[in-house]
Every structure is written in structure tokens, then in C-alpha cells.
Amino acid sequence: MSCGGIPAAGCARDASAQALPASPARTAVVWPRAVGPVVPDPKIEARIHDLLRQLTLEQKVAQMMQADIRYVTPEDERKYRLGSVFNGGGAFPGNDKHAAVSDWVALADRFYDASIDSTSGAPAIPVIWGTDAVHGHNNVIGATLFPHNIGLGAAHDPDLIERIGAVTASEVAVTGIDWTFAPIVAVVRDDRWGRAYEGYSEDPEIVRAYAGRIVRGLQGVVGSPSFLNASHIVATAKHFIGDGGTANGVDRGDNRASERELRDIHAQGYIGAIGAGVQTVMASYNSWQGVKVHGHRYLLTDVLKERLGFDGLVVSDWDGVDGVQGCSKDHCAHAINAGIDLVMVPTEWKAFLENTVAQVRAGDIPESRIDEAVTRILRVKMRAGLFEKGRPSSRPL
């Protein structure tokens, strides 16, 4: 479906969806006002500003796309300059689940080389590769596997959790990957939820404490030489927010908690993770009081980015925008306007890119929102040192 030229029916619905209230009227006074521990670097912010001015609208929107390695090639990366790629469940280099570490690094090199190829005149912006290393580097044969979070929570050993994070980070970095979609910081309030094993605890204080420790293990300690150095990777607190508290434990269901309960129970893991400097947050498939989180501006922007002081990037879940009213797998102005910065659009990324550009030109998405999203993406890449680290195969590990 294309939103260019004469609008398709799906695109018309998308525009109308933006006229709907993002949520019932709320006030943010019940949420703590915080500032993340990573002090903004004026040099990085100046570099971002300079780079943003060099990008065309198409190049900006491309930075907001994240495609699965089964549906994007290094040559696609060279042409379109996507901001990110990832290996979803069952995705391996060459479709070989027994791929060696050298195969992972070789593919990472190819994507990296394509992303910084400036022969066409496009600015060199390293692609960032994400993976679900949720209990060790669990997609790679021979990597160390650790218990799922339910087991780690039962161990009641925060030091162990931080060490596990550090080992996982090192093993992910060795394969040329810079980013893990972990930790899961759901506070599980109904054991019927099919993903209950992914949570540390039903106790929000335990989840808050463990979230901070696993983030420090994965990313290193903010303010120290270990922070996002060669042996550490970018972490993700997920799934924001309330996935562990849906009615009757229904996956992707509706969390009907009051706002105070949402803060005191389901937000605690994010408060702990942000306090440790987590650089990315993944939106959740579930709804809160009937509104899908992927399209919930109040939660994604007013609460997460403004009140909780999160200055990294917000990434969608796998085709998560598809659940937002008026959206589909190939367009969702509503989710971008709500605060999604990077769209995990595994298969339909070309159409999503084209449609998003058309929606900006039609005035459905302010270009200032695109600029803010790309600023956050570039900030994370620069903090992670991607512009300086070089090819994955050339890094110290």
C-alpha cells in the first residue's frame, strides 16, 4: 500500500486516527520528574545537529527503519541507508542456524561497510544491529545460555545478574552486534500470562533493583570507562508498559490498572533501568485502558521521555504499529507522532519508508517529529561509539 499520490484507504484511516484522543485526559503530576544519569555531551549534540542538516527527508526516515536480515541485504542498506537491522526469531546469517561466529561477524561487516559507503554522496552513518539476547546470546550456537529471568529472580542475587549482563554483552559484541533487546522488566501480576517466565518477579521493587543491575552489566557503568566500551553493548528496557498486568493475563491484552498503579507497579523496572542509563526502550504490544501503547502519546512522550527523563530512542516491537487503530504493517503516522522513534518493520520496510515520507509531505507527520526521532537515534549511535569503532571484525574483541 502506498500513501504517495492519491491516498489509499488505509492511509486515510491513519490520518483520521490521529484525530482521536491518544488517551483519556491525564496529568503527569503523579509521575516523578527525573533526569537520566548520562550527561548530555555538547560535542555529540553538535555533531548530531550538523549531521541532521545534511540528511534529506528520505534519509532521515530511513534512519527510523529497522528491517529483519531475512528481508534486507547489504546492497539494500547501501541504497536506502536504513538506521538499523536485526535478526528476529529464526533469522541467521545465510539462514543457517548453525552459523559460526565468523559468519555473524562477516555479515555485520557487510552491513557496516554498506552503511558508511559515501560514494553516492550520502553521509556515512553506521547501521546498528539489534538482537534478542535475552538469556545469554541465545541465537548463536556455542554461546553461553543463562536461566530465564524467572530463575534469576528466584536466585535473589543482584551481583550475579550484573555479571550475567557483562558476559552476555561480551559475547554479543564478539559477533559484531551492538544492541540487545533486553532486559525484560515486566512485573508479572498474573501467572496465566504466557510470558510470565520472562519477568524477574511480581514485586516491583525487586524488578526495579534487578533492572538497574542488568543494564549496568550490559552497557557498563555510566561515568566510567566501561560505559558502552568495546566489551559492552546497548541495552533495551522492555516492553513499555504494563505487559505483565493485562486482564486475565492475556498476551497483548489490556492493562486496566489506574495510573497510580501503573506508576507504582509496572513502571518501576523502567525507573531502575533509566537510572542505570539504559539507552533504548521498546514499546509493548498491550493496551492501557483500551489504548494501544504503540500509539499512546501520553505514555511514550509525556511520561517516558519528558517526566522520566529518557533521552534515548524508543523502538517498536515486531510490527507493533500494526495494532494501532488506522495503521498497518506498512504505515503508521499515529505511532510516530505518539513517540516511536525507530520502527521495527521486518518485512514491509520499503513501503513503510515510502509511506512515511509521503505522510510527512502531506502534513500528517511534522518534520520536527522526524528530526527529534533521528536525533535520538544518532545520539544512541554516537554514545555507543559506532562512528569510531570501525568494522566489527576490526574491534578489539
Given the residues 317, 322, 341, 364, select the one marked as catalytic: 317
Look up 322 and say whether it is catalytic. Answer: no
Q: What residues are paired with 87 via a beta bridge?
A: 131
SS3 of 163-174: HHHHHHHHHHHH
| 3-state class (DSSP) for residue 99 | coil
Q: Which long-range contacts (CB under 8 A, 24 or more apart) does 119-126 make?
A: 120/78, 122/59, 122/81, 123/51, 123/54, 123/55, 123/59, 125/51, 125/63, 125/81, 125/83, 125/378, 125/381, 126/381, 126/386, 126/387, 126/389
The C-alpha cell at 341 is 522513534
For 23, 129, 327, 331, 338, the CA distances from 16, given in Å and listed in that order, are 15, 34, 10, 13, 14
Q: Which of 160, 166, 168 is nearest to 144 (CA)?
A: 168
Q: Which of 108, 134, 65, 131 is nearest to 377 (CA)?
A: 65
Residues 6+ apart with CB under 8 A from 191: 249
Specify whether the CB–CB gap between 286 and 243 falls below 8 A: yes
Q: What residues are paired with 310 via a beta bridge?
A: none
Q: Which helix (H) or strand (E) holds 237?
A: strand 236-240
Specify whether the CB–CB gap between 162 and 117 falls below 8 A: no
Specify whether the CB–CB gap between 43 and 66 falls below 8 A: no
Distance CA 308, CA 143 (A): 35
The DSSP symbol for 20 reads S
CA atoms within 13 Å, Cβ hemisphere of 75 = 0
The DSSP symbol for 201 reads B
User: Catalytic residue positions?
Assistant: 317
